[in-house]
Structure 1
Amino acid sequence: MLMTNYGGIPKEFSDLKNAKVVILPVPYDGTSTWVKGADKGPEAILEASANMELYDIESKSEIYTIGIHTAKPVTEKSSPEKMTDAVYKEAKKYVGKYYTVVIGGEHSVSFGTIKAHFEKYKNMCVLQIDAHSDLRPEYEGSKYNHACVMARTRELCRVVHVGIRSQCVEELPYIIRENIFYAHEIQNNNDWFEKAVERLTANVYITIDLDGLDPSIMPSTGTPEPGGVGWYQLISFLQKVYQKRNVVGFDVVELCPNKINTAPDFLASKLIYKMIGYKFK
């Protein structure tokens, strides 16, 4: 049975009229260049969420009681440009009224919701957790390819990149050194937390490409890279960001599910739940 309700949350807390959070699935995988399957990511996350304990030990709360509504998926797939516009229009319905969370889908799905948030919130920047900087001006004939999402975002606002460990030479002219925290520089220490937070503006949108995590815990991505961020380092950093800045929304993208190993699906679902909890702590 296809799960359409995050967490299997009772109707009392999943109905839009009672919700503070809207989850918007975008099952799109039109521009990925290696392992395909990110379009199955939202479904896998929702399925995993049904097996997740809804009591959160860390916050000592049942986070879902704030109200979490799962919207109908954005199904436009004819081109990355049209998909981006469809996500933007759908996100505009919710941004500012609800805490809006997009689940992908490949990373190209993020720009539409980033744009919607940028138009709503002044002094906003984007925090990117990712293995790749995604700063190509254009790739394979499109400016809205998954490899270009941060290039488009940089046309709107500042981007702070964390966990980067793969770039192409064409991206180097676009690197702003004080805004990038390479994976090899942040391994085995949290000394960089404060410095990274200082680079963030008052309002922050977070985009998490799951390949930013180490493939030992997140192998289910289209382009896995060794040497990524660990679970506890990631959530400790995110807690710091939520404490110090106003996180206006976020997305979690690039889950490429593997039926043999569902642990990464569960990780993605748990991460979303944790981040919602940090917002409404």
Structure 2
Amino acid sequence: MTPHDTPFLAPPEEYGDFDAARAVVVPFPYEGGVSYGLGTGDAPQAVLEASQQVEFYDEELDGEPYKVGIATIAAPPIPADARHMLALLERTTDELLNQGKFPVIVGGDHSISSAPMRSVFKKYPDMGVIQFDAHADLRETYDDSPLSHACVMARAREMTPHTLQLGIRSMDVEEARLIRREKLAVATMRQLRQGLFDLPAALAALPEKVFVTVDVDVFDWNVIASTGTPEPGGMGWYEALDLLKMIFHTKHVVGCDVVELSYRPHDANSPYAVAKLIHKMIGYRFAASIPPA
């Protein structure tokens, strides 16, 4: 795979080598599935550039996550057709998983997520999906497309019944009825804040291996402002990190993505926050392997 000319974090060369790396960052600038604000196509490059300002040292982990090896590959030419796009990303994820890598997909809009999910499902048929998102994304179709970003969890549930949705605060009535009818594990932001959702029990009900998908509109605007479908009342930075740390500690996360950042030239904070988030997730995934400072 071709290395990217703007590597995530820009670690020392030996730690960015693909063959030795345990984590591989995959920028995937597709935004054909959006329904409102644009800018997700330019987001991966903005995140990579911002990441080079992130300190290597993580004070919580008391170590430098890059030392487990973090490679960054160049995005291939991405087809405009959604099905061809998904097939390309699925093949890319297949290759990474088959080489024992931890894939970190950087979108791009949320419609891309069904591709790495399907790749993980092929390798680990008993898998779960954990979604951080403001939106339920359980629609069968949206804007006449089953591959819209508003349908990604409907596509996930075609692969596995084991899903957990966190931070939800926007859905239509049909999604609400589906959640009630099928007793889906959905934690709204209000339920999380008021202690009305039993997260340890929900995690225990999932398989050991999970894929984590983070739509950045799960965050409050004071953390990440630039996203295509914003919703007020989102997660704070440490709220999200506490949840992610619990997930990575209790489950075997086999891949993840971070999607729906919208690049806006006037907002340097949001890409930096996404870069820092990815750094934290890689750190949590490999916490036991990071040499102490």
* TM-score over 0.5 for the pair: yes
TM-score, reference length from structure 2: 0.91
Aligned residue among 211, 220, 224 for 2:230 = 224
* 1:208 matched residue in structure 2: 214
Deviations 1:25-61 (A, max 9, x none): 1100112111100011101110100111011111111
Helix, strand or coil at the partner of 1:16: coil
Matches within 5 A, 1:106-117: 106-117=109-120
* 2:188 matched residue in structure 1: 182
Q: CA deviation at 1:189?
A: 5.0
* 1:161 matched residue in structure 2: 165
Aligned residue among 149, 158, 161 for 1:146 = 149
Q: CA deviation at 1:193?
A: 3.3
Q: 1:189 to 1:54 in 2, by over 3 A?
A: farther
**Aligned equivalents of 2:193 and 2:122: distance in 1?**
35
Please say which of residues 113-122 and 44-53 is displaced more in the overlay.
113-122
Q: Unpaired runs of 5+ in structure 2? A: 288-293
Helix, strand or coil at the partner of 2:36: coil
1:98 equivalenced with 2:101 (yes/no): yes
Aligned residue among 77, 80, 83 for 2:79 = 77
Q: CA deviation at 1:124?
A: 0.7
* 2:278 matched residue in structure 1: 272
* 1:254 matched residue in structure 2: 260
Q: Could you tell me which amino acid in structure 1 is paired with residue 114 of structure 2?
A: F
Q: Could you tell me which amino acid in structure 2 is paired with residue 278 of structure 1?
A: Y
Q: CA deviation at 1:188?
A: 5.8
Q: CA deviation at 1:110?
A: 0.7
Q: CA deviation at 1:105?
A: 0.2
Q: CA deviation at 1:191?
A: 6.8
* 1:52 matched residue in structure 2: 54
Please say which of residues 105-114 and 169-178 is displaced more in the overlay.
169-178
* 2:291 matched residue in structure 1: none
1:172 equivalenced with 2:176 (yes/no): yes
Equivalences, count: 280
Q: 1:188 to 1:169 in 2, by over 3 A?
A: closer
**Identity across aligned pairs (percent)?**
36
Q: Unpaired runs of 5+ in structure 1? A: none
Please say which of residues 41-50 and 177-186 is displaced more in the overlay.
177-186
